[in-house]
Every structure is written in structure tokens, then in C-alpha cells.
Amino acid sequence: MPNCPASMSQPPPQSKGSVREEKELLVYLPDINATCSVLTILALLSQPTASYVPLCQYQEPFFYTGAHRGLVEKVQKELKSLTAMIEERNRIIALPYPYLSPNHIENSVAI
């Protein structure tokens, strides 16, 4: 659920303090159909892709030779260490937060 409206049905008030009651404020918010459309689009864009590849993992053989391979292995080792730390922390806290764990981040610039 977004914490602000994606659109407004009227221009905002021009003077501070001119909206005094909740009914007056509701006039500026979008109707239910516009809000549902935005939520649907946000839900679709939040889904993982069908071709999900974790961070610093490659399907094509880009970095399989020379110094590149060593650097990739070093970064992958650091990412595994970070993942283990985050998983350990999430085991002991009441509300786990796995979303920034490297194994939950896609190796892509896609939305």
C-alpha cells in the first residue's frame, strides 16, 4: 500500500490551513478505481521475474577466465558471508527482514 496518493482528483489547496475537515480533504484524493489500478500495477511490478538470477551469478560465461574469475569468486564469497549474517540475525529477531539479503537481490537492472 503506497503511503501517498498516486494522483489527485483536483489541484491542491493554494493556501495553508484552508482544509479544515476530513470531508474537504477527501475531495482531493483519487477515486477507488484509480487507486485499485495503481495497486495492481505496483503488485505486478513487485513480482520476481521468471528468469531470476541472484546477485553476482551469471548464466552466460562472461567471467570464467583470468583475473575476472578471481574477482567474481571474491565478491561471491563476500555475498555468501553477508547472506549468512543476515540469516543469523533474522533467526533471532521477532520480525525478520530478508529483503536486502544478497540472495534476494536480482542480478539485473530490471524493475
d(CA 108, CA 54): 9
pLDDT, tens only, 28-43: 888 889 889 999 998 8
Full-prediction pTM beyond 0.85? no
pLDDT, tens only, 58-88: 888 777 778 888 888 999 999 999 999 999 9
Helices (H), the chain: 22-26, 32-45, 66-92
| Dihedral sign from CA coordinates of 51, 107, 83, 79 | positive
